[in-house]
Amino acid sequence: MGMDPVILLGGFSAFHALYPFLCTPRMASNFRIIKNLHITHVVNATANCPDAFPNTLCYLKLCLSDDAQQDLLKALPLASRFINSALMADPAGRVLVHCSMGRSRSSALTLAFLMEHRRWSLLHALRWLKDRRACTAPNINFLRQLLTYEELLFGSRLTSLNDIQEEETAGENVEK
């Protein structure tokens, strides 16, 4: 579909070893990095981080907080459509989805895109994303809303919260 990311052998740890300067919260505001990665579109999922290059890049600003009260259900299809339209453009764009720590809000928005446009269950999308970005960790509130989004997309829930928690427990046991 022309939407597959380039995957570095060795995963995030290999990427971090080669490009530690790209693995910081400041990446979204460093134009040299943005230019070198050929980023054309940015989903800014922060409540207090301004769009760094509004005259150069196309932004979707979603003022989201990483807490138990944040309602994501309206933001999920907005972000998903924005990412998809950027990737489907001619020439295809490159999208950076960012929040403050790169763990919860950005992961939740990316998972929604994978569910909607790849037609993956939440569990499959979460496994895929964690394999590529080990720090992926949407908060429990966001996971519940992603389960609701999965049901809206597919007509029924394909994943349960227990599936996700068992997956995380299995992952922790492998690391020990």
Please give the pLDDT value at position 12.
61
Rounded to an integer, what distance in angstroms lies between the CA atom of residue 60 and that of residue 78?
9
Domain residue ranges in the chain: 11-175
Taking the model in full, what pTM does it have? 0.83
Rounded to an integer, what distance in angstroms lies between the CA atom of residue 104 and that of residue 138?
4
Rounded to an integer, what distance in angstroms lies between the CA atom of residue 79 and that of residue 142?
14
Homologous superfamily of the 11-175 domain (CATH): Protein tyrosine phosphatase superfamily (3.90.190.10)
Note the pLDDT tens digit of each residue in 32-83: 888 988 999 999 999 988 999 999 999 999 999 999 999 999 999 999 999 9
pLDDT at residue 148 tops 70? yes
Note the pLDDT tens digit of each residue in 71-96: 999 999 999 999 999 999 999 999 99
User: Which residues are identified as catalytic?
Assistant: 99
